[in-house]
Structure 1
Amino acid sequence: MPTESVAGSALTRRSSLKGDISGGITAGVLTIPVSIGYGLLALQPLGEGYLSYGIVAGLMSAIVVLLACALLGGSAGLIYTPRSVVTLVMAAVVLEGVARGPAAIAAHGDVGRTLSLVFFVVLMAGLFQALVGAVRIGRLIRYIPSPVMSGFQNAAAVLIMLSQVDALLGFRRRVPLSAVAANLSAVQPLTLAVGIVTCLAMWYGPRFAKSVPPALLGLFIGTGAYYALSAAGYRASLGPIIGPLPSTLPVPRYLPGFGSLLVERELWPVLLTLSVGALGLALVSSLDVLLCARVIDGVTGERSSGPHELVRIGLGNVAAACFGGIPSGMNLGASSANHRAGGRTRLAAVVAAAVILLAVLLLRPAIAALPRAVVAGMLVVVGLQLFDRSSFQLVTQAIGGELLHWRVMVLDLLVVILVAGTILVFDPVVGVGMGVALAVLFFLIRMSKSVVRRTYHGDVVRSRKARDPKLMELLGAHGRQIVVFELEGPIFFGTAEDLATRAEDPAAGNGCCVVLDFKRVNELDSTGARILVQINDRLKKRGGCLLLSHAHDNALVSAVLRDLGVTGSLGAHASFSDTDAALEFAEDRLLLAHAPGHALDAEMPVDRLSVFDGLSEEEVAIVRALLVRRAYAKNETLIQEGSRDRDLFLMARGVASVKVGRPGQSGQRRLASFSSGTVFGEVALLDQQPRSATVTADEDVVCYVLSEDAFRALVRDHHAIAIKLLTSLGSELSRRLRRANAMISELEG
């Protein structure tokens, strides 16, 4: 058995090694053309003289970030390469921050100094991205609304395609889009044809050669078409090739350059401006990583850690900057290809990096001979694939009148157009700012909806405390002075004022009690706490009060209430464990105000008990002779759940609660409470079933008890009195049922 186990383990390791090598080679080969294209796109704003540096930057980024993330414990099977949207933002930062303005003046036309400024942006973006992951604010980035992302994605697609127009038309130098019409005489139709062939090969090639990656198909077929035309004698009518590449040895050649930039004080304003651009680049890159992580988790079947990936990729980009690389992120296509080929560990990433490095060192002449039009055609397809299809579906549905919730959908479409338009008119960095501003605005609008989930009054919804019918009538008549607000969500500066308006509006009269149910409140800020104190102060001036229920269910909310003085301002008596207890307190307060002569804690004489309202004095005396007065101490049991006694209890003083056991749990749940003037125990007397709940004294209690034997004697000897007594009990049950129906209707409506 041990021998078989060792042999099986060795076989598994060999199989895993083979899969990692196969997956790494596949991913590395697939990454090369992508990295070439994105590197060219990133440094294209600097001019023709920097295109070869851009290609090396793209390849160097893939090599360094792959190795760095593997060494830092990256998720198994993931492949890291430059990304389209991130590269586009990088190009915008290079254009606005380095190619123009003070940075261009500071560089003095020096290639090395210019590149140091470019890769300083990558360095800072990597540091910001690692910081985003370390402090876990990446979770906030995920809340950017979909329309904002769609607008950004569509604008990026358009910009990537437009940036390749001059290369596709065969211009020998950089021609702005606005000047294309004036240079139509320099257009090379054959170069355009090579670009179109490349696009078609990438787009339709997988239908005929499913095992070959589309990028490689486009690269080989487009390059073949270019050199076939060149061999046929049309070389002069074809666009330029990439040309000689600079040194491609992977050494941190730009690290000293960063130091020289930092010691020059006159460059600090320039570096600060570049750092702002780097922050926008880091935010876009972080969002791209988090979105890709979700998709890749579905491919690999393993859950990756977004914050940890941000830290790893951020540090990898810092390293890439030192080696002269552009930012990288997770590559969905290469990671999927690696997984399908058997790559399951970080060794696959190392193998992919080795494949790219060998290509850089050994295939420099072949890379230098790649036609610009072929790379441009590949990037055009990348742009086409980047478009958000849902946006176009939304436009089609809006035009066709197929939208059911057209107001919401049209608003989303306007946001898409606004973000995309901002990026196209200005630049992606401004677009990132617009997107973040819209995200914050959307968040505030969404979070600023009323925190009041439901409102009801004390004339319909009562506490579980049963009272003398006369007192219940008082509560019915004046119960609207008790109002309960069920709250949900955060109470912060966006919702607190609305809560104050709602809470004080029904409390315009004097003596109103407002109960705020905090059961579903998950957050409270200083503004919300201040508003609560103001509500309490205003209610007190009118003789009212503010009560809180479930305020201590959430430890964070409870701490804020205490630390910001809300608990002290309201007083300990104003906070209750549940809403029923708060309602009971408010009802007692209301009864004391409207029935000052009714002593709630005094023993009620027998003849004043409501169950005897339909009896004459002689009939009451007959029943009184059958009753037994019993006194119970606090926490003493009056009725035990499951017992078979049939006694009827008439409450003369105190409060007793009905409780039932919780199945599978310890402790009991309170169903109702009975105060003086009420009757309980009648159900078992009528249906002859065991007791359904336990009744316990909440305080010292006095009851008058009519035993089952006494009741039978009453029925036998005084059946007319028994009928009146049963009628009275039926009326009490009817009142309880009506109140329960009214409460259910109020709470469900």
Structure 2
Amino acid sequence: MNTISNPTTSSAAPVSLRSELVAGVTLSVIALPSSMAAGVVAYQALGPEMAAAGSIAGLAGAVFAGLVGALARTPSPVPTTPGVMVALLQANFATTMLATTGNLNATIAAMAICVALAGLWQVLFGLAGLGNVVRYVPHPVLAGFGLGVSLLLFIGQMPMLFGRTSFGALVTTPFGASELAMPLIGLVLIAGMLLLVRRFPRLPVPLIGLFAAIVFYHGLHLVFPGIALGRTASGDTLGELAGIVGAALGSFATLPREMIQPIILNSVAVAAIGIFDTLLTVRASKGYIETDATPRRELAGLGLANMAASVSGAAAMTTSLSVAVPAYLAGGRTTLTRIVGCFALLAIALIPGFIGSMPLLGLTALTLFFVVRSINWSVIDMVRDAIRPQYPSLRGRAWRDLSILLAVMLGILLVHPTMGVLIGVVLSCLLFITDMARPMIVARTTGATLLSRRGRSAHDMDLLRQKGERTLVLRLQGVLFFGNCDDLDTELRRLEPEFDTAILDMRRVTDIDATGNKLLNDMRARLAKNGRNLCIAGLTPELALFIGLAIETLPDLDAALERFEEKSLGEHLNAPHAQDDLEFLQSLSIDRRKIFTAAVEHRAYAPGDILCRMGDAGDGMWIILSGSISVRIPATSGALRVAGIAAGAPAGELALLEGNPRSADLLADGSLQTLYLSKSAFETLSDEAPDIGQAIITWIAIITAQRLRSSSEALRFAASE
């Protein structure tokens, strides 16, 4: 079998050429209806007779501009196709231009120039490395924009389903009996597709809907020749589309100057929609398909595709994960999938009479199907949280999010989609500034109250609580930049006489700018000069790398606490515990100690030895004389260390008392010396020497209570705002 290497994965596993071809055909089948529907949306504002040309424009964009995107973007099965959402912006723009100029060719030329400029902005945005800016766009802004555009599409397309040109005409114009078949069939198609996609998500539901529309349309016309079902794409072909676009571009020089400003403004809005769509697709695709797509190349490639689209039908392009997933499941992994898909679409477009047989009713139903599928239903959660939140503290934030969503949505519905983009940008900036201005320090405690999860003897715990007052723990949040980092420095200077070590819990820090990084390192140098330590815990690997090696960074707060607890215990930490030094034996006589000694078994372990595994029978407990144990539980990424147990403390004591299976794996960190008390020996001790059994139970209860106290403090600290 012929194979090609898969450039989207790090492994050298071959990809089947046959699978790539099949996936390419699958891609074309899925992209066909959505591309044609997007073209219809973009062109229908030019008049009912141009809607058919729009379906060809969408198909031409998927073929020719899609091929440019396939070659320019990161190798993967994610295609470059016309988008219904961005087509709405084009339709609004076309309505304005046609009303201003009254010239069809000039309007199409303006649409083409707008798409070309949008492509230019996307290339520049990508090459400048600004793709990560989208990370800072709040969810309510994105949700409001998506909902507003969806509703605007719904308002614009629903009249077409009833054979009317506007929503006003839909409300005011009476219906004849013969006209009811068109909306009825359209609604049945939409409902059927929604049910199919819910029950059978892997089926090419849009294509099934399109073919069903063709069958309904032509079948009913055969039975009832006079039935009103709208028109088809008629005889429009790629050649006729080329003539339309060519004539329009020929009138470029005649465009009036007053059209320049709206062209530029609309191109920015078209570019913004494409950028949002593409970057969200890049983020989402990593959870569905194997791709190493980067925002820089994806945006530059999309921009080049839109430049090509400006001369191949003027249907603006975007990327589509929903089209890519079926192709991926069919075996598509590389650029070849997209190339094959483009040529398969071209072959479909060249089939005599095929495009002309498609009813515009079916394409309108498809558009409304895509609209319903694209609605972000999280607005329901926002309304619920605003009215009846699960936690009262969420009410204020829910109302804020809902207000932002409504502001963006109403800007789109009542003014223009460009206004929605502008409102979204302004609100994103204001929210970012507000979040940046939030207090950096949200909680403060000391090592005396907040201990690590490492199990220790009661004596060691008491010692740590005494020495822990000199360990300061601060929990930080948000973005660390010059302003709030300066506040952090001021607070550390104020508290400096009270601590020897400062631990900064940065688990909720989302970013650090260059000035924040410099101030952090300046703080570390100043504290080190004064004989104090600064430790950072919980940073993401990327931010830890950005800070550099000058500041000690640990993966989480528990690891940092454990590190400085070990320093506090000093020599006492590694000192072996003689059996007679065990705390619960101190109150027993020598004779009673001998009875205990006879009941236990000395067990030694080498580094890495497994004492027990999760699920093993709970038949006893270990008492650590020297060394330490790690407590691990299975996780998807491997064994996860959840705690440690030091010398002088018990391990597996709950299984001894309850008799339940082990709840975790126990692993020797290094050379380990233990006493093992089996369940049967413990029961014998409790019967024959109840004072010894009671001493053991009391000791376990004291250590368990101390652990619970530490856990409660850790939870309180983690939940503090």
2:401 to 409, 412, 429: 412
Q: Which residue of 1 aligns with 2:169?
A: 179
Instruction: Provide Cα deviations, 1:105-162, integer angstroms capped at 9, x if missing partner.
Output: 2xxx443332111011110111111111111111011221111111112222222222
Residue 135 of structure 1: aligned partner: 128
TM-superposed deviation, 1:362 = 2.0
Contact 1:60 1:325 in 2 (8 A): no
User: Could you tell me how far apart the structure 2 residues matched to 1:260 and 1:88 are?
Assistant: 24
Give the distance between the partners of 2:442 and 2:529, measured in 1 at CA.
17
1:257–1:10 Cα change, 3 Å: closer
**Alignment partner of 1:392 is 2:380:** yes
Deviation for aligned residue 1:343: 2.0
Note the 1:499-514 alignment, pairs <5 A: none
Instruction: Tell me if the contact between 2:501 and 2:533 (Cα under 8 Å) persists in the aligned partners.
Output: no
Deviation readout 1:268-290 (Å, 9 max, x if unpaired): x5223311221122122111111
What are the superposed Cα offsets for residues 596-617 of structure 1, whole Å, 9 maximum, x if unpaired? xxxxxxxxxxxxxxxxxxxxxx
Superposition map of 1:48-447 within 5 A: 48-72=48-72, 74-96=74-96, 98-100=97-99, 104-105=100-101, 109-171=102-164, 174=165, 176-185=166-175, 188-206=179-197, 212-245=203-236, 247-248=238-239, 261=252, 267=257, 269-363=258-352, 365-396=353-384, 402=390, 404=392, 405-447=394-436
Distance 1:403 1:222 in 2: 48
CA distance in 2, matches of 1:99, 1:8: 53
Using a 3 Å threshold, how does the CA distance of structure 1 residues 312 and 236 change in structure 2: closer, same or farther?
same
Evaluate the alpha carbon distance shift between residue 10 and residue 177 of structure 1 in structure 2; reply closer, same or farther with a 3 A threshold.
closer
Instruction: Give deviations 1:373-419, integer Å, cap 9, x for gaps.
Output: 22111111111111112222443565566455222223222222222
Q: Residue 579 of structure 1: CA displacement?
A: 5.9
Letter in 1 for 2:157: Q
Higher mean Cα deviation, 26-35 or 251-260? 251-260
Number of the residue aligned with 1:691 = none
Q: Structure 2 vs 1, CA of residues 77 and 500 (structure 1 numbering), >3 Å: closer, same or farther?
A: closer
- Secondary structure of the residue that 1:299 maps to in structure 2? coil
Cα distance between partner residues in 1 of 2:500 and 2:42: 60
The structure with the largest alpha-carbon Rg is 1
> One-letter code of the match for 1:21?
L
Give the direction of change, closer, same or farther, for the CA distance of 1:248–1:42 in structure 2 (3 Å limit). Answer: same
CA distance in 1, matches of 2:194, 2:473: 63
Alpha carbons of 1:577 and 1:181: their partners in 2 closer, same or farther (altered >3 Å)? same
Of residues 126-135 and 406-415 in structure 1, the stretch that sits farther from structure 2 once superposed is: 406-415
Residues 663-702 of structure 1: CA distance to partner in whole angstroms, max 9, x if unpaired?
Answer: xxxxx99989xxxxxxxxxxx9xx9xxxxxxxxxxxxxxx
d(CA) in 2 for partners of 1:43 and 1:265? Answer: 19
- Give 1:321 deviation, angstroms: 1.0
Question: What is the DSSP-based 3-state SS (H/G/I as helix, E as strand, rest coil) of the residue aligned with 1:304?
Answer: coil
Distance 2:245 2:501 in 1: 62
Per mean C-alpha deviation after superposition, the further-off stretch among 73-82 and 200-209 is 200-209
SS in 1 for 2:190: helix
**How many angstroms apart in 2 are the aligned matches of 1:489 and 1:516?**
23
Q: Report if aligned partners of 2:144, 2:406 keep a CA contact under 8 Å in 1.
A: yes
How big is the shift at 1:443? Answer: 0.8
User: What does the per-residue CA deviation read over 1:76-132, in whole Å, with 9 as the maximum and x for residues that have no partner?
Assistant: 322221223222233333334x234xxx32xxx443332111011110111111111
When the two structures are superposed, what TM-score results if normalisation uses the length of structure 1? 0.60
SS at match of 2:70: helix
Distance in 2 (CA, whole Å) between partners of 1:430 and 1:10 is 47
Contact 2:124/2:300 (8 A) holds in 1? yes
Per-residue displacement from partner, 1:510-546 (whole Å, max 9, x unpaired)?
A: xx999999988976789x9xxxxxxxxxxxxxxxxxx
Query: Are the counterparts in 1 of residues 57 and 314 from structure 2 also a CA contact under 8 Å?
Result: yes
How do 1:634-673 residues align onto structure 2 when only pairs under 5 Å count?
Answer: none
3-state DSSP of counterpart to 1:223: helix
CA distance in structure 1 between the partners assigned to 2:340 and 2:112 by the alignment: 26
Equivalent residues of 2:105, 2:247 under 8 A apart: no
CA distance in 2, matches of 1:282, 1:515: 53
TM-score (norm 2): 0.62
Letter of the aligned partner of 1:374 in structure 2? G
Structure 1: tracts of 5 or more residues without a match: 1-6, 458-482, 529-553, 562-566, 568-573, 584-667, 673-683, 688-744
Q: Please report how far the alpha carbon of residue 228 of structure 1 lies from its aligned counterpart in structure 2 after TM superposition.
A: 2.5
CA contact (8 A) 1:444 1:494 kept: no
Contact 1:197-1:221 within 8 A present in 2 as well: no
Distance 1:65 1:289 in 2: 15
CA distance in 1, matches of 2:323, 2:237: 27
Q: Distance in 2 between matches of 1:369 and 1:128?
A: 37
1:477-492 mapped onto 2 (5 Å cutoff): none
CA shift, 1:37, in A, is 0.6
Matches within 5 A, 1:517-536: none
C-alpha change, 1:333 and 1:15, in structure 2 (3 Å) is same
- 1:492/1:371 Cα in 2 relative to 1: closer, same or farther (>3 Å)? same
The superposition leaves residues 253-312 of structure 1 with CA deviations (integer Å, 9 ceiling, x where unpaired) of 958966974x66953x52233112211221221111111122222222233222211111
Letter in 2 for 1:194: I
Note if contact 2:2-2:16 (Cα within 8 Å) is conserved in structure 1.
no
Q: Distance in 1 between matches of 2:26 and 2:386?
A: 43
Asked whether the equivalents of residues 282 and 293 of structure 2 are also in contact (C-alpha less than 8 Å), the reply is yes
The range that moved more, 238-247 or 448-457, is: 448-457
Q: How far has the Cα of 1:9 moved from its partner?
A: 6.2
Structure 2: gaps spanning 5 or more residues: 7-12, 447-471, 535-563, 569-574, 579-712
Residue 62 of structure 1 aligns to which amino acid in structure 2? A
For the Cα contact (< 8 Å) 2:210–2:362, is it kept in 1? yes
Distance 1:38 1:489, change over 3 A: closer
Q: Check 1:516–1:40 CA distance in 2 against 1; reply closer, same or farther (3 A cut).
A: farther
Count of equivalent residues? 527
Distance 1:68 1:513, change over 3 A: same
> What secondary structure does 1:63 align onto?
helix
Supply the distance in 2 between the matched residues of 1:170 and 1:250 (Cα, whole angstroms): 24
How many percent identity over aligned positions?
24
C-alpha distance in 1 between matches for 2:483 and 2:306: 39
SS of the residue corresponding to residue 362 of structure 1 reads: coil
Deviation readout 1:566-623 (Å, 9 max, x if unpaired): x9xxxxxx9454564599xxxxxxxxxxxxxxxxxxxxxxxxxxxxxxxxxxxxxxxx
